[in-house]
Structure 1
Amino acid sequence: MSAKVETPFIKQLSLPDNRLLAYLLDDAPEGAPVVLLSNPLCTNIAVWDHIVPVLNHAGFRTLRYDQPGHGDSSAPADLTTTTFDSMVEDVAYMLDALEIPRLWAWVGVSMGAAKGVFFATSHPGVVGRLVVCDTIACSPANAGVEDPFGPRVASARAEGGMEGNTQATLQRWFGDAWLEGHPKEAERMRRVVMRTSVDGMETCCNALASETFDLRPLLRRVGGAVDEAVCVVGEKDANLPRTMGDMRAQIEDGFREAGKTGEVELVVIPDAGHVCFVDGLEDFVRLVPRFIQAEKK
């Protein structure tokens, strides 16, 4: 059974295919611009609990939501149907239902960052500022490398739950030394990951493993779709500092092609891993509000 993480005031929206999408929109600051926070795989709304007060204090409302089969969002009946395009349309439906025509910023990490690129380029002008954190550029099939997602799903299916995957996930994200040195936060993250259903993990892993997942043709289009962008990565997140350096260059080329000035920055958060706003919290909360605060109206 999944461990419960208590986050108040979560609401559920019924999607056109009758799935439920869980979301949490701040009431205050009243009338403030909205920053959407998009989750990594195997996390839910509660993963952002340390970030939301910082953004509220900076004068923003936040909108959080759960990926399919994560937290309080339901998975599709057919687990093979989830793609980044379908998840983008879930978000578009949510924004329309909540009467939010424009996001001040999209802050996404891992799968949530990849989804931000898909969303911004398919709905140009809706996202003002795009924060792309710790994401791969494409599926293993498109990269020509071994698929890490299938074996994780198979392991969870064989176990009949998320317990084994949860520990492996936390070790991959943070490393044993950080987990041992931060037991309270490690336990919070364990509870967060445990709220993912195996169906939710499988359907989102299917999206990540699909040949339809490829950011590379989209990166140069970001410049014509948003006002500003920044790339953020944890220093210890495998080869992603190099990979995201390449992404940054492509995004910046797109800004130039769109006739926009200014550089697209790559920020490497020291000693942080894949979920850089957790083990790199202090650096993250210095960076992101500063980036999105510019010319706030």
Structure 2
Amino acid sequence: MSAKAEMPANRHLSLPDNRVIAYSLDDSPEGGPVVLLSNPLCTNIAVWDHIVPVLNHAGFRTLRYDQPGHGDSSAPADLTTTTFDTMVTDVAYMLDALEISKLWAWVGVSMGAAKGIFFATAHPGVVRKLIICDTITCSPVNAGVEDPFGPRVASARREGGMKGNANATLQRWFGDAWLEDHPKEAERMRKIVLRTSLDGMETCCDALASETFDLRPLLRKVGGAVEEAVCVVGEKDANLPQTMEDMRGKIEEGFREAGKAGKVELVVVPNAGHVCFVDGLEEFVKLIPKYLQAEVK
């Protein structure tokens, strides 16, 4: 049976403000600890389809969900109200509704990684292991650099769709050479990006561009919130290898301050870009079960 055929159907949960959050929770392996997979911008649940069977085989159930306005999740009526704090509240509500009090791990990429840091530090003890992949540390306004998000939204609005943005996004993430060499996977990713609504792109880009997005005050708090943390980055992801090395150092300082022994590791995925579990799939599926396994039988 193909990996796609094994994927459980998406489910839908009504949030208190009448928005819908779409999610997928594996039924098997029965009793397996839950690993939450948190998506990058402009993707949906399907982006993890190659990863889920690997984690299932290693003994884990996965919980995936769509960001606001992505996939089958609805965007808010006011597109300026979404922040990382409000998105964390959505996830906390979903976990409560599903009666999941503990996550074996949170594996997040890009926006999904940043959200993992917000969630873990807001809800200490809920996430056991935090795996943070390919994320910036703060919004452009906080970093003092030009905002890339607003122009992307404006371009998509002018076009009236995601086609042009999808092409540009895939080029940034993977580069033309990889896209040409992997046409089947490139097309799968293009279809995933195209399912993002314009409202979804705008509301999440607004959160990423907001002054409220700043991981730097939270990094040292990670050590007091989780038992283990690992940073992962694609080798070819612009300047993020250095950014995430700096982030790793701050997180490790927080672990020492919390009286926890052990080193926070930075893993560089060779030849991978921003969504390192796609173009770096072979290496990613080796390292993730390794860092998740611990005493799970």
- CA–CA distance in structure 1, aligned partners of residues 225 and 147 of structure 2: 31
Q: Equivalent residue for 2:120? A: 120
Indicate the SS of the match to 2:291. Answer: helix
Q: Answer whether contact 2:19 2:76 (CA < 8 A) is retained.
A: yes
Q: Equivalent residue for 1:155? A: 155
Q: Equivalent residue for 1:108? A: 108
Q: Equivalent residue for 1:168? A: 168
Q: Which amino acid aligns with 1:62?
A: T
- CA–CA distance in structure 2, aligned partners of residues 211 and 236 of structure 1: 28
Indicate the SS of the match to 1:99. Answer: coil
- CA–CA distance in structure 1, aligned partners of residues 15 and 24 of structure 2: 16
Q: Equivalent residue for 1:60? A: 60
- CA–CA distance in structure 2, aligned partners of residues 94 and 245 of structure 1: 32
RMSD: 1.0
Is 1:70 aligned to residue 95 of structure 2? no
Q: Equivalent residue for 2:198? A: 198
Q: Equivalent residue for 1:49? A: 49
Indicate the SS of the match to 1:177. Answer: helix
Q: Percent identity?
A: 82
- CA–CA distance in structure 2, aligned partners of residues 265 and 233 of structure 1: 11
> With structure 1 as the length reference, what TM-score do the two structures score?
0.98
Shift of 1:295: 1.6
Shift of 1:261: 0.4
Any stretches of 5+ residues in structure 2 without a counterpart? Answer: none
Indicate the SS of the match to 1:266. Answer: strand
Is 1:219 aligned to residue 219 of structure 2? yes
- CA–CA distance in structure 1, aligned partners of residues 8 and 270 of structure 2: 32
- CA–CA distance in structure 1, aligned partners of residues 164 and 8 of structure 2: 28
Q: Equivalent residue for 2:228? A: 228
Indicate the SS of the match to 1:91. Answer: helix
Shift of 1:159: 0.3
Q: Answer whether contact 2:8 2:25 (CA < 8 A) is retained.
A: no
Q: Equivalent residue for 1:88? A: 88
Is 1:286 aligned to residue 286 of structure 2? yes
Q: Equivalent residue for 2:247? A: 247
> With structure 2 as the length reference, what TM-score do the two structures score?
0.98
Is 1:181 aligned to residue 167 of structure 2? no
- CA–CA distance in structure 2, aligned partners of residues 9 and 122 of structure 1: 30
Deviations 1:3-47 (A, max 9, x none): xx9965101100000000000000000111000000000000000
- CA–CA distance in structure 1, aligned partners of residues 40 and 50 of structure 2: 15
- CA–CA distance in structure 2, aligned partners of residues 295 and 204 of structure 1: 36
- CA–CA distance in structure 1, aligned partners of residues 132 and 182 of structure 2: 26
- CA–CA distance in structure 2, aligned partners of residues 294 and 158 of structure 1: 49
Q: How many residues get paired?
A: 293
- CA–CA distance in structure 2, aligned partners of residues 224 and 285 of structure 1: 28
Any stretches of 5+ residues in structure 1 without a counterpart? Answer: none
Is 1:262 aligned to residue 266 of structure 2? no
- CA–CA distance in structure 1, aligned partners of residues 74 and 193 of structure 2: 15
- CA–CA distance in structure 2, aligned partners of residues 285 and 85 of structure 1: 30
Shift of 1:52: 0.1
- CA–CA distance in structure 1, aligned partners of residues 142 and 205 of structure 2: 15
Q: Answer whether contact 2:8 2:26 (CA < 8 A) is retained.
A: no
Q: Answer whether contact 2:21 2:68 (CA < 8 A) is retained.
A: yes
Indicate the SS of the match to 2:238. Answer: coil
